Amino acid sequence: MGMYNDKVMDHFMNPHNIGELENPDGIGTYGSPVCGDMMQISIRVENDVITDAKFKTFGCGSAIASSSVATDMIIGMTIEEALAVTNKQIVNELGGLPAVKIHCSVLADHAIKSAIYDYATKHGKTYAGLEGFDPNAEEDDHEGCDIEE
Ligand code: FES
């Protein structure tokens, strides 16, 4: 288990915010082009603030830890603040991930954007940070990733 620090292990063993919100204001799923793993995030939004978030991850331990910490981070943020969260911040919050696992944090970053995209689409809203975002886009391995592997 030497690859992973204690914080990653803790979020993997005891993930926060697991599951799916009932009647979410936004829900998004994102599949990693790198490994094929999937993540779903559902959000509750009140007055442009994310008041709750839950995730389901069909993926590896790093993806589970990333989504656990990422949902913790965005609860209480405005939509704009949540859109500005980068996978690098998620990795930092976890105290680091092995280089080959950085793409797992990208999954969390994109799943958040997918959920907000769904919220924005359903409510006819536009947000800076969502321009050009397509939850179904095919991406190459590194697009959207702030950290060189
Ligand atoms: S290996 Fe697929 S998300 Fe981590």
pLDDT one-digit tens code per residue, 17-54: 999 999 999 999 999 888 999 999 999 999 999 999 99
Please indicate whether residue 87, judged by its CB atom, sits closer than 6 Å to ligand 1: no
Name the percent of the chain in helix, strand, coil, to the closest 5.
Answer: 40, 20, 40
Please indicate whether residue 66, judged by its CB atom, sits closer than 6 Å to ligand 1: no
Four-CA torsion 27, 32, 35, 36, nearest 10 degrees:
50
pLDDT in tens, 71-126: 999 999 999 999 999 999 999 999 999 999 999 999 999 999 999 999 999 999 99
Residue 118 lies in a domain: yes
Residue 129 lies in a domain: no
Residue 149 has pLDDT above 80, yes or no: no
Give the CATH number for residue 25: 3.90.1010.10
Task: Provide the pLDDT for residue 3.
Answer: 85
Amino acid in the structure at residue 54:
K
Backbone angles phi, psi at 81, to 5 degrees: -65, -40
From atom 1 of ligand 1, which residue's Cα is the shortest distance away? 60
**Collapsing DSSP states into helix, strand and coil, what is residue 21?**
coil
Sheet of 38-46, strand order: 26-31, 38-46, 49-58
Residue 87 lies in a domain: yes
Task: Provide the pLDDT for residue 129.
Answer: 85
Residue 83 lies in a domain: yes
The pTM for the full model equals: 0.90
Please indicate whether residue 59, judged by its CB atom, sits closer than 6 Å to ligand 1: yes
Four-CA torsion 147, 82, 52, 125, nearest 10 degrees:
-130
Contact 114, 29 (CB under 8 A): yes
Distance CA 57, CA 61 (A): 9
Please indicate whether residue 64, judged by its CB atom, sits closer than 6 Å to ligand 1: no
Residue 33 lies in a domain: yes
Contact 108, 61 (CB under 8 A): no
Residue 149 lies in a domain: no
Number of independent structural domains in the chain: 1
* Residue numbers annotated as active site: 35, 104
Task: Provide the pLDDT for residue 7.
Answer: 96
Pocket test of ligand 1: the residue of 29, 87, 104 to mutate, having most ligand atoms within 8 Å of its CB, is 104
Task: Provide the pLDDT for residue 121.
Answer: 94
Residue 104 lies in a domain: yes
Please indicate whether residue 63, judged by its CB atom, sits closer than 6 Å to ligand 1: yes
Task: Provide the pLDDT for residue 133.
Answer: 86
- Which H or E run includes 115? helix 102-123
The boundaries of the domain holding residue 76 are: 6-123
Residue 136 lies in a domain: no
Span from the CA of 126 to the centroid of ligand 1 (angstroms): 30
Contact 116, 138 (CB under 8 A): no
